[in-house]
Amino acid sequence: MMIIIAEFFVVILKVLWAFVTAGAKWVVRPKEKSVAGQVCVITGAGSGLGRLFAKEFARRRAILVLWDINSQSNEETAEMVRQIYHELDTDLTKDGPVGGVEEVPPFQPQVYTYVCDVGKRESVYSTAEKVRREVGEVDILINNAGVVSGHHLLECPDELIERTMVVNCHAHFWTTKAFLPKMLELNHGHIVTVASSLGLFSTAGVEDYCASKFGAIGFHESLSHELKASEKDGINMTLVCPYLVDTGMFKGCRIRKEIEPFLPPLKPEFCVKQAMRAILTDQPMICTPRIVYMVNFMKSILPFEAIVCMYRFLGADKCMYPFLAQRKEAMNNNEAKNGI
């Protein structure tokens, strides 16, 4: 009994120390780690956040492995990465050796592109094998690919529901199973889950999307605990949960007009820069903007009816309806054109 009581007090001290260290990071910014020369796989790299992640990692001299279902857009991202590599190489050549000593070896552009449908596990596993064979073992995995159906539940075809779940959630299982074994062997690596605030709290009209993001977050958290239980402290996990990002994915989504100036859609560049800071400092979770942390906490402690009242006040209860209406109108117009 005395042992349990002693352990309990030790746990309390460790919890308090965790609060202290977390608070200290707000005051003293942690030093960012180097990812130069590390192999980084980014899914959904052909556009949106995936493209911006690729550019940010390229600026830090990482070896980029870009996955996307669209070959053309993926190659466009790769060309942007090559341009960044070229600029880095030019700057290095221009500066020359410092004090007559060549401290940094000449930088060689390295970016690889692969067409991969992460919604098909065979495609994931075969592409992963190509990466290991042609590039090497992966150090950083960015699970970024995502889709949205844009239909009310009762109007959404089952195939689109399944597609949303598979791409946004199941694919994380497959990519992780493909690359985690070597990370465990080396006790080195970093897995990033790009989820959403809609994986922490939901809204009406996007049941499939919310479910997929809740699933991705559950997978991420469980895997984080498994790595801790296995005492693999060299493998880091970062969960990225942004508020609505202005990438066009949810075009038309609107909250109450009086509130919107205080909570506008996030600029993609800002979202990725915040995520990069979290990744490079091994931060377990990043919510952007910070009010998402508070909303998630309030959801956990307030009665459901209180949450409903807050949603209605903010206009968040039907914020997806304009987006859904636009998607439905666009689909009807396409069907009309095809019928002509």
Q: Is the pLDDT of residue 340 over 70?
A: no
**Which pLDDT score is estimated for 10?**
74
Average pLDDT on 226-237 reads 95
Closest alpha carbon to 66 in 88, 93, 47, 83: 47
Question: How high is the pLDDT of residue 121?
Answer: 95
Query: 85, 112, 125, 209: which is the annotated catalytic residue?
Result: 209
pLDDT value, residue 263: 87
Q: Is residue 26 part of a domain?
A: no
Provide the residue range defining the domain that includes 195.
Answer: 34-88+105-335
Measure the CA angle with vertex 219, ends 217 and 220; round to 5°: 65
- At position 214, the amino acid (one-letter code) is F
Mean pLDDT of 331-338: 61
Mean pLDDT over 297-312 rounds to 90
Burial 255-286 (b: 16+ CB within 10 A, else e): beeeeeeeeebbebeebbebbbebbbbebebb
Q: What is the pLDDT of residues 20-42, one digit of tens each?
A: 776 666 677 789 999 999 999 99
As a whole number, mean pLDDT of residues 286-304 equals 91
Rounded Cα gap, residues 328 and 323, in angstroms:
9
What is the CATH number for 320? Answer: 3.40.50.720
Q: How confident is the model at residue 108 (pLDDT cuts 50, 70, 90)?
A: confident
Q: What pLDDT was estimated at residue 328?
A: 82
* 48 in any annotated domain: yes
Q: Report the pLDDT value the prediction gives residue 98, as an integer from 0 to 100.
A: 47
pLDDT in tens, 174-228: 999 999 999 999 999 999 999 999 999 999 999 999 999 999 999 999 999 999 9
Q: List the one residue out of 46, 49, 22 whose CA is nearest residue 275.
A: 49
Average pLDDT of the chain is 89
Model confidence over 115-137: pLDDT tens digits?
999 999 999 999 999 999 999 99
Regarding predicted confidence, which is higher, 137 or 91? Answer: 137
For residue 4, pLDDT over 90 is answered with: no
The span from the first CA to the last CA of the chain, in angstroms, equals 80
Instruction: Please give the DSSP secondary-structure letter assigned to residue 120.
Output: S
Residue 65 lies in a domain: yes
209 is catalytic: yes
- Whether 148 maps to a domain, the answer reads yes
The answer to the question of residue 182 being in a domain is yes
Residue 3 lies in a domain: no
Percent of the chain topping pLDDT 90: 64
11 located within any domain = no
Q: What is the pLDDT of residue 326?
A: 87
Q: Is residue 155 situated within a structural domain?
A: yes
Average pLDDT rounded to a whole number, residues 168-177: 97
Please report which confidence band the pLDDT of residue 17 belongs to, taking 50, 70 and 90 as the band edges.
confident
The yes-or-no verdict on residue 99 having pLDDT over 80 is no
- 111-115 and 235-242 strand pairing: unpaired
Total domain count for the chain?
1
| Residue % of the chain over a pLDDT of 70 | 91
Of 23-32, 82-91, 102-111, 190-199, the one with minimum mean pLDDT is 102-111
Residue 334 has pLDDT above 70, yes or no: no
Least confident of 15-29, 98-112, 138-152, 181-195: 98-112
Angle between helices 158-165 and 207-229 (to 10 degrees): 30
Give the three-class secondary structure for 266: strand
